Amino acid sequence: MPMRSQSVRTRRPPTASRPEPLPRSESSTRAEASRPHRRSSQRSTTGAAQSPRHPPSDVPAPAAEEPHDRAAANAAAADHYAQRPSKHRYRTVIPAPSGNYAFIKTIGQGSMGKVKLARKEGTNELVACKIIDRVSPDDGRLSREERERADAAREDRNAREAAIVSLLNHQYICGLRDNLRTRWHWYMLFEYVNGGQMLDYIISHGKLKEKQARKFARQIASAVDYCHRNSIVHRDLKIENILISKTGDIKIIDFGLSNLFSPDEDRKLKTYCGSLYFAAPELLQARPYTGPEVDVWSFGVVLFVLVCGKVPFDDQYMPALHQKIKKGEVDYPNWLSSECKHLISRMLVTDPKQRATMHEVMNHPWMLKGYNGPPENFLPHREPLKLPLDEEVIAHMTGFKFGPPEYIREELTKKITSPKYQAAVRRLEKEREQPQPNPQGTEKRRGFGFDFYKRRNSITSKETLTNGSSDGLPIGDDPLNAFDPMISVYYLVREKFERERQEAQAAQPAVPPKVQQVPPSSPQQAQAPPPVPPSPIARHKEKHSLAEIVPPQPAHTENSRTRHRARSHSEDQVREPVQNGLLSPDMVPTKKGGNGPVSLLRRLSTRDRRKEPSDGKTISLQKSVSKRAKSLGHARRESIQARRARREAEARDQPQTPHTPHQEPPLREETDAELGLEGEGEGGETSGGSNERLEPEDPDLAKPVYLKGIFSVSTTSTKPLSEIRADIKRVLKMLGVDYTEIKGGFSCTHAPSIAEEERYHSPSRGEERVADGEIRFEVLIVKVPIVSLHGVQFKRLGGDTWQYKATAEQIVRKLRL
Ligand SMILES: Nc1ncnc2c1ncn2[C@@H]1O[C@H](COP(=O)(O)OP(=O)(O)OP(=O)(O)O)[C@@H](O)[C@H]1O
């Protein structure tokens, strides 16, 4: 796709002052030992051109190697590609442990690097490959020592992101399929979420109806609570990090700033990171924090954006914005329901000790409205840990800088034999003997997965505002969840092994899955967790294991990791000055004056045409829309009925069928159709019903036509395609947006004027500021199924989020659809 080149995105490893080699995994060590990448690197630095299509002869053929050698070869081959001139670097195949992936196109640009759509060779399987540079550019801004320090910190972050996402298993969290580290890059292959960003959804809709927002909010809560109860804090929850899947459900992405947290007062986190609009006041004040409370704040901001279409704290002048966040004063629109307002106001409490916990959020009346109980967090059933520990699990607790296996074993042993842990276990046992009724009627899991996911349904008086969990036990008192980060990782690794074991079993169709009825013969077996049903992600993914984090470790190996790392402190144990911290770029004051980027969000909130009677054009638009919405609603009702009938027929046919990897996940929040949301729109939520079935797998055609509710009145039209295209061109020209016509739409680049740019600021993180005043996005024209409408959709590819949002909204406003 023709695009203007951007300096940051095409930066290449420095040649003259290349830093010393970084600590690296066995794969890259072996890769270097085999030297092919060195040769290729030398070649590329001397400018020798390589054919982008034909791998050179010095790249070992992965398929012919033994597993360990294959991993080394993979790394070497990927390095080789990475060393090519940037023009060709990504147009090729990445030899990941689970197979070769060919890049198709760029689908995203974050501060950490590009995200490319890739297809697994010989299959239709698509992945989103996040490519992260391991080495800072030598652009003269930093000394060699500073760059080395920055690279080491970045390396830790990347390793942690890979480790965390490879362990998480949740239907509303984007799953990692595979992972490859080379000399210069990390390649993280995620499941491809093809419904677009929530941000685009909001651009199309303005604000969401509370019912629709509730559905998303419950899914976010489910994912966030799952993380917290695994001792993981996301720390970068924002509207851009919420994608929408083809089923219209959310997927949280970008765990690049996530970390483990501990409930201990003396182990608070001290890295001040995230996006300014979504950052909790304590982060701006550089106050140590436990973890979950900063996610609750960000979640509150996200919820506000969902229901209001703008951010709650907004100022063009950064210091003023800081002040607003620190004061926590929010102007709630009067049309917001009092319950919704109450919930947000509980989440946006400046004092973290007084702020709502996830438990409170999940049990808030607004969250429960129309549901049987709080959102399910999909935590697997767990039993307290006992000795002896599983050595293989310990050997795979890598990526968190815990130290060598023997140290981990020693620490875990201390932790689970400690009086504190034992007391927590006794409390749990007592509670299980006398289960308390669940006053909220906690939502039961539907379907046959329930046995695997038994939850304790107790909400006890012990819950506190600061550290409650959704099951009621305060974080730190619950021996099963978030008691201690090392214990949480032990559970997660063990559960991952269990999933892999089940997937391996499922892959052998001749052998029916065994139900273990025999009494355990070893203490280890005695405490092995019950089988966990494969996740929706796992259902589709290739068999892979933690070996992906440490590529030379083949899946299901008995071998422990042999290379021991010295124990070191995490970045959070060292206080970072705010200006050097990850948040700092967000906080750089910009000049006062003009209409700031944030005002776009303000403007967005006024996109409810009915409330703008002064705009004659919008009134007539509204009129024509209600007609259109009606017909869409009708079409949708039919579609819902058809789906319901189909589901009922399926249920009649197979009432007792156990869960198999090929079935729909039984445990999930309701879809739009199930909630009856599809017909709810008043012009806003207009879309086809069961659209996801129409989704083509071909990435060229994979325009988000299947999305429920993606199009609003202002982004759909009954006009012929040629007229819509002409109108878009007119508007792009009028606004000075550079565009190229591409299949299905326009690829656009927009660089605001300097005066305009000064008003904007980048919410990117760390020293790797991406926004250089230029935004890249696509305007796509898609056919809305069922009814003969065309829809216009926006997709951000890179650049500042809020600049993009402003531009997209401007385009929408100027269009005459
Ligand atoms: N799994 C995915 N499926 C589809 N698109 C994705 C996926 N992951 C990322 N993207 C796209 O790439 C963009 C950047 O991804 P991501 O946020 O992970 O990168 P980042 O460098 O960490 O970004 P940031 O600067 O916002 O922290 C996303 O906004 C999204 O548009």
Name which of 84-93, 252-261, 283-292 the model is least confident about.
Answer: 84-93
What is the spatial distance between Cα 131 and Cα 120, in angstroms, rounded to a whole number? Answer: 16
More confident of the two residues 174 and 29: 174
The residue behind tokens 């140590």 is 288
Overall average pLDDT of the 805-815 stretch? 84
Determine whether domain 93-191 maps to CATH 3.40.50.1820. no
Kindly give the distance from the C-alpha atom of residue 253 to the centroid of ligand 1, in angstroms, as a whole number: 7
φ, ψ at 580 (rounded to 5°) = -100, -5
- Max mean pLDDT range (140-149, 331-340, 655-664, 669-678): 331-340
Contacts of 127 (CB under 8 A, 6+ apart): 101, 117, 118, 119, 120, 177, 178, 189, 190, 191, 192
- Rounded Cα distance, 328 and 281, in Å: 8
Q: What is the DSSP string of 596-633?
A: -THHHHHHHHTT-GGG-TT-HHHHHHHHHHHHHHHHHH
Q: Which of 192, 211, 223 is nearest to 104 (CA)?
A: 192
CATH 1.10.510.10 residue ranges of the chain are: 196-367
Atom of ligand 1 nearest to the CA of 765: 25
Element (H, E) at 179: strand 176-181
pLDDT of residue 471: 54
Report CA(123)–ligand 1 centroid distance (Å): 23
Residues 6+ apart with CB under 8 A from 648: none
Q: What is the pLDDT of residue 611?
A: 34
CA 109 / ligand 1 centre spacing (Å): 6
Using CA atoms, how far apart are residues 103 and 89, in angstroms rounded to an integer? 10
Counting ligand 1 atoms within 8 A of each CB, the residue from 243, 273, 537 with the most, and so the one to mutate, is 243
Question: CATH 3.30.310.80 residue ranges in the chain?
Answer: 699-753+771-816
CA distances to 7, 20, 183, 409, 502 from 139, rounded to whole Å, are: 11, 17, 20, 44, 49
Q: Whose CA is nearest to atom 10 of ligand 1?
A: 108
| CATH topology (fold) of 196-367 | Transferase(Phosphotransferase); domain 1 (1.10.510)
Extract the annotated binding site: 130
Q: Which residues are annotated as a binding site for ATP?
A: 130
H or E segment and range at residue 642: helix 616-653
Q: Evaluate if residue 178 carries a pLDDT over 90.
A: yes
Task: Give residue 432's pLDDT.
Answer: 85
Pairwise CA distance, residues 189 & 252, whole Å: 15
What are the CA-CA distances from residue 81 to residues 1, 65, 296 (Å)? 20, 19, 41
- Residue 174 CA: which ligand 1 atom is closest? 1
d(CA 789, CA 783): 6
CA 197 / ligand 1 centre spacing (Å): 9
**What gap in Å lies between CA 377 and CA 372, rounded to an integer?**
14
Helix (H, G, I), strand (E, B) or coil at 778: strand
Cα 505 to its chain centre, rounded Å, is: 29
Closest CA to ligand 1's atom 17:
254
pLDDT in tens, 100-138: 999 999 998 878 889 999 999 999 999 999 999 888 877
Q: Between these two residues, 66 and 511, which has the higher pLDDT value?
A: 511
Q: Are 247 and 171 in contact (CB under 8 A)?
A: no
Residues forming a β-bridge with 748: 739, 777
DSSP bridge pairs for 738: 749
Ligand 1 site, CB within 6 A: 107-108, 110-113, 115, 128, 130, 174, 190-193, 197, 240-241, 243, 253-254, 256, 764-765
Q: Exposure string (b/e) for 526-556, b if CB count within 10 Å is 16 or more? A: ebbeebbbbbbbbbebbebbbbbbbbbbebe
Kindly give the distance from the C-alpha atom of residue 254 to the centroid of ligand 1, in angstroms, as a whole number.
6
Q: Which residues face 120 on adjacent strands?
A: 101
Q: Annotated catalytic residue: which of 178, 236, 572, 586?
A: 236
Which of 737, 745, 738, 751 shows the shortest CA–CA distance to 799? Answer: 751
Atom 14 (ligand 1) nearest CA: 110
| 699-753+771-816 is a CATH 3.30.110.30 domain | no
State which ligand 1 atom lies nearest to the alpha carbon of 797.
31
Question: Are 84 and 45 spatial neighbours (Cβ–Cβ below 8 Å)?
Answer: no
CA distances (Å), origin 774, targets 300, 606, 770, 803: 29, 26, 9, 9
Name the residue at shortest CA distance from atom 13 of ligand 1: 108
Q: What percent of the chain has pLDDT over 90?
A: 35
- Interhelix angle for 801-814 vs 598-605, to 10°? 40
Mapped onto helix, strand or coil, the DSSP state of residue 102 is strand
Residue 212, Cβ density class (10 Å: 0-12 exposed, 13-18 middle, ≥19 buried): buried
In one-letter notation, the amino acid at residue 598 is: V
Ligand 1, residue 108: give the atom nearest the CA: 12
Whole-angstrom distance, CA of residue 12 vs CA of residue 808: 31
**727 in catalytic set:** no
DSSP letters, 449-474, are GGGGG-------TT--TTT--TTSSP
pLDDT exceeds 60 at position 265: yes
Q: Given a cut of 50, is residue 526 above it in pLDDT?
A: no
Q: What does DSSP assign to residue 664?
A: P
Q: What residue type is assigned to position 589 of the chain? A: P
Pairing status of strand 738-742 against strand 250-252:
unpaired
The protein residue with its alpha carbon nearest to ligand 1, atom 4, reads 193
- Whole-number Å distance, alpha carbon 545 to ligand 1 midpoint, is 23
Read off the amino acid at residue 91: R
* 513 burial via Cβ count (<10 Å: 0-12, 13-18, 19+): exposed
**Pocket residue to mutate for ligand 1, from 170, 245, 253, 780, most atoms within 8 A of Cβ:** 253
> What tokens does 277 get?
């609009």
- For residue 246, what are its two tokens? 């083809």
Tally of CB atoms within 10 A around 591: 11
Q: What is the mean pLDDT of the chain?
A: 67
Q: Does residue 176 contact residue 165 with C-beta atoms inside 8 Å?
A: yes
pLDDT band at 206 (very low <50, low <70, confident <90, very high): confident
Beta strands of 204-338 (E only): which ranges?
Answer: 232-233, 242-244, 250-252, 259-260
Q: Are 389 and 478 in contact (CB under 8 A)?
A: no
Give the pLDDT confidence score for residue 405 in this predicted structure.
Answer: 96
CB burial class (10 A; 0-12, 13-18, 19+) of residue 743? exposed
Residue 426, number of CB atoms within 10 A of its CB: 12
Nearest CA to ligand 1 atom 30: 108
Which residue's CA is minimally distant from atom 7 of ligand 1? 128
Mean pLDDT for 618-628 is 31
pLDDT value of residue 246: 86
Compute and round to an integer the Cα radius of gyration of the chain: 26
CA of 241 to the centre of ligand 1 (A): 7
Q: Which atom of ligand 1 is nearest to the CA of 111?
A: 25
Q: Rounded to the nearest 5 degrees, what angle is found at the Cα of 795, between the Cα atoms of 794 and 799?
A: 120
Confidence class for position 498, pLDDT limits 50, 70, 90: very high
Residue 668 · residue 249 · CB < 8 Å: yes
Question: What six digits make up the tokens of 651?
Answer: 């249920």
For the residues 325-354, what does the mean pLDDT come to?
Answer: 96
Q: At what angle do helices 292-308 and 210-228 cross, to 10 degrees?
A: 170
Residue intervals of the chain classified under CATH 3.30.200.20 are: 93-191
Q: What is the residue with the minimal CA distance to atom 18 of ligand 1?
A: 254
Measured in residues, the chain has a length of: 817
551-582 tens-digit pLDDT: 333 333 333 322 233 333 333 432 222 222 23
Task: Write the pLDDT tens digit of every residue in 698-743.
Answer: 333 334 343 333 445 557 777 778 888 888 999 999 888 999 988 8
Q: How far apart are CA 54 and CA 778, in angstroms?
A: 31
Residue nearest ligand 1's atom 28 by CA: 108
Q: What is the pLDDT of residue 72?
A: 60
Q: Which regions of 232-367 does DSSP assign to beta strands (E)?
A: 232-233, 242-244, 250-252, 259-260
Report how far residue 802's alpha carbon sits from residue 595's, in angstroms, rounded to the nearest whole number: 12
The pLDDT assigned to 437 comes to 57
Query: Scanning the structure block, which residue is given the tokens 């259902």?
Result: 539
Average pLDDT of 677-681? 29
Q: What angle do CA 270, 275, 280 make, to 5 degrees?
A: 55
Q: Coil, strand, or helix at residue 135?
A: coil
Q: How far is the CA of 557 from the centre of ligand 1 (A)?
A: 32
How many A from CA of 701 to the centre of ligand 1? Answer: 21
Atom of ligand 1 nearest to the CA of 115: 12
Task: Give dist(CA 651, CA 75) in Å, integer.
Answer: 47
pLDDT of 760 > 50? The answer is no
Q: Closest ligand 1 atom, CA of 238?
A: 26
